[in-house]
Amino acid sequence: MDKLNVDHMLAIEEPFMKVPLEQLKRAVRQTQKQAERETAAVSSELSNVLKNQHRLTPGELQQTLDGLISRLQTLRQALEESKLEEAQLIQRSKQRAADLHKLRGFESTAQPEFQQWCRTRLDRVLIDYMLRNANVKTAQRLVDKGGLGHFAESSLFALVMEIEGELKEQHSCRAALQWCAENRSALRKIQNSLEFELRVQEFIEMIRARNTPGAIGYAKKHLTPWSDTQMPRIQRAMTLLAFSPATQCPPYKSMFDEARWGGLANDFRLVIFQLYNLPAQPLLHLLLQTGLSALKTPACLSEDPSEHNRNCPVCQTETLGKLAQELPLSHHVNSNLVCRITGEKMNEDNPPMRLPNGYVYSQASLSDMAVKLDGKVKCPRSSQTFKLAEATKLFIS
């Protein structure tokens, strides 16, 4: 049991490697685009200057050339900064790959080095959980304590929180729309319509502010480009012009609902996670679910609490059981008999005992009870009382 299944472990660690690689891909693409755009603009202006040089005064020529030089200098500075960012991302990917590579060197789960690796993993999984829940300071303390800066997605979550904050608290689409513009081709590739939803929200806000001409102009400019895929939504949005924010008419009432801002923040979070290959659920949940799925049995699903096992985390319906709700039942090759009273395993040292009413408990639990109840035992499920001597021993075959 103490042998490592490295392939299974690596499968769950996929986002750990993919996030910095995705960041690197985006950074390289962005730099490349910027360089192409700037050099094309400079060379076209330069050819204009060469064409019209006889019409320019030496002063004008000097001014234009100075402008071009300063533009190229700005580009050079931006390229140097990007180079630095790319180097950091490459370094980060290398450090993560080296950490995962350690797994191949462990021979058993009992090895102290493996235990240490697991502790570090737990820390980074907790950091991920805290960053997702906006506990930034606590996450940072854990990052600092373990020197885990290269293992945490702090900058990505800072961006997520900044844009979510603008949506939820300031009711502004500005930052989210800018992000959509920067990632337009990636969003188009996954056929995501977040940008359209944000445009609809800005349109709704103009109607709320009773700016009808502004809203119509906005719709022509920003909603009609989506007519191929979003026509029914555009029609509904246009119909909204006829309603006031106080309307009770169902589909239009919900369009004026302020809760839409929370929905937009949520949509944004899901799509940015998708683009960066981060799972929608915290990694902590995924790891816990891996363990819970091995423990889930039909008894865990029973509506009768007495059927539940007090030592089984899946049976804790208010806590870990919630995470196991969607999981399939585990496949058991060997079954263990577990006492409902103590939650302990029943075996030849602690055999199962059958009460006259048919219910079975462990010998240890019935003996303990008999000491307290003057030689008697009380069935927790039927509340019937019997003498301990009436219980018969069962044999496991």
Q: Measure the CA–CA gap between 309 and 299, rounded to whole angstroms.
A: 8
Is 129 or 359 the residue whose CB approaches Zn ion more closely?
359
HSE (side-chain half, CA atoms, 13 Å) at 122? 7
DSSP single-letter state for residue 317: T
Is 238 or 341 the residue whose CB approaches Zn ion more closely?
341
Is 127 or 312 the residue whose CB approaches Zn ion more closely?
312
Is 156 or 314 the residue whose CB approaches Zn ion more closely?
314
User: Least distance to Zn ion from the beta carbon of 307, Å?
Assistant: 9
User: Least distance to Zn ion from the beta carbon of 321, Å?
Assistant: 8
User: Least distance to Zn ion from the beta carbon of 171, Å?
Assistant: 45
State which of positions 292-311 bind Zn ion (CB under 5 A).
300, 309
Question: CB neighbours (10 Å) of residue 57?
Answer: 8
Structure tokens at 379: 């069935």
User: Least distance to Zn ion from the beta carbon of 295, Å?
Assistant: 6
User: Least distance to Zn ion from the beta carbon of 304, Å?
Assistant: 12
State which of positions 306-365 bind Zn ion (CB under 5 A).
309, 312, 314-315
Q: Measure the CA–CA gap between 281 and 11, rounded to whole angstroms.
A: 16
Is 273 or 361 the residue whose CB approaches Zn ion more closely?
361
State which of positions 256-295 bind Zn ion (CB under 5 A).
none
State which of positions 164-193 bind Zn ion (CB under 5 A).
none
Is 309 or 363 the residue whose CB approaches Zn ion more closely?
309
Is 274 or 316 the residue whose CB approaches Zn ion more closely?
316
Size of residue set near Zn ion by CB under 5 A: 5
| Inter-residue contact 182 to 205 (CB < 8 Å) | no
Q: Measure the CA–CA gap between 129 and 133, rounded to whole angstroms.
A: 6
User: Least distance to Zn ion from the beta carbon of 309, Å?
Assistant: 5
Secondary structure of 329-378 in HEC code, one letter for each residue:
CCCCCCCCEECCCCCCEEECCECEEECCCCCEEEHHHHHHHHHHCCCEEE
Single out the residue of 281, 294, 277 nearest to residue 5, CA to CA: 294
Using DSSP, state whether 234 is helix, strand or coil. helix
| Inter-residue contact 384 to 357 (CB < 8 Å) | yes
User: Least distance to Zn ion from the beta carbon of 315, Å?
Assistant: 3
Structure tokens at 248: 């009770």
Q: Which spans of this chain sit near Zn ion (rule: CB under 5 A)?
A: 300, 309, 312, 314-315
